[in-house]
């Protein structure tokens, strides 16, 4: 492998890793925000930045917080999943 293709491959890898790391942090933030807001709701407190959700409807607020936690877990799981098997299957189907 020559030096130019190695640098291009590393550049692509670095770009994808930055995006994956950013989405992982976003997923953890969603999970932690949703989970802690649910825990605070159980004791009668709430995050000030999520108070607008509870003002719409308490049931809507509860569902919204659960969805925040679930979407956060799903995002982290999807980003951290190994997609190399999927690309191999697609390559085999193209042949």
* SS3 category, 33: helix
Does residue 7 lie within any of the structural domains?
no
Which tokens belong to 87? 């690309």
**Out of 19-23, 37-41, 48-52, 70-74, which region has the weakest mean confidence (pLDDT)?**
19-23
According to the model, what pLDDT value does residue 37 have? 95
Residue 56 structural domain: 19-82
Q: Is the pLDDT of residue 10 over 80?
A: no
Q: Which two tokens stand for residue 41?
A: 């709701």
pLDDT at 28 over 80: yes
**Domain membership flag for residue 46:** yes
Q: Tell me how far apart the alpha carbons of residues 65 and 30 are, in angstroms, rounded to a whole number.
A: 9
Query: If you compute the radius of gyration of the chain from its CA atoms, what whole number of angstroms results?
Result: 20
14 in a structural domain: no
User: Is 87 a member of any domain?
Assistant: no
Query: Is 12:43 a contact under the CB 8 Å cutoff?
Result: no
- CB of 68 closer than 8 Å to CB of 34: yes
Q: Is residue 3 situated within a structural domain?
A: no
Q: How many structural domains are present in the chain?
A: 1
63 occurs within a structural domain: yes
Q: What are phi and psi of 57, to 5 degrees?
A: -170, 135
């Amino acid at each position: 492998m020559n030096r130019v293709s190695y640098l291009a491959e590393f550049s692509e890898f670095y770009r994808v890793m930055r995006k994956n790391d950013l989405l992982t942090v976003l997923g953890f933030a969603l999970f932690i925000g949703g989970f802690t807001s649910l825990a605070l709701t159980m004791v009668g407190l709430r995050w000030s930045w999520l108070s607008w959700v509870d003002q719409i409807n308490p049931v809507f607020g509860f569902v919204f917080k659960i969805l925040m936690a679930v979407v956060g877990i799903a995002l982290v799981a999807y980003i951290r999943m190994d997609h190399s098997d999927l690309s191999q299957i697609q390559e085999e189907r193209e042949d």
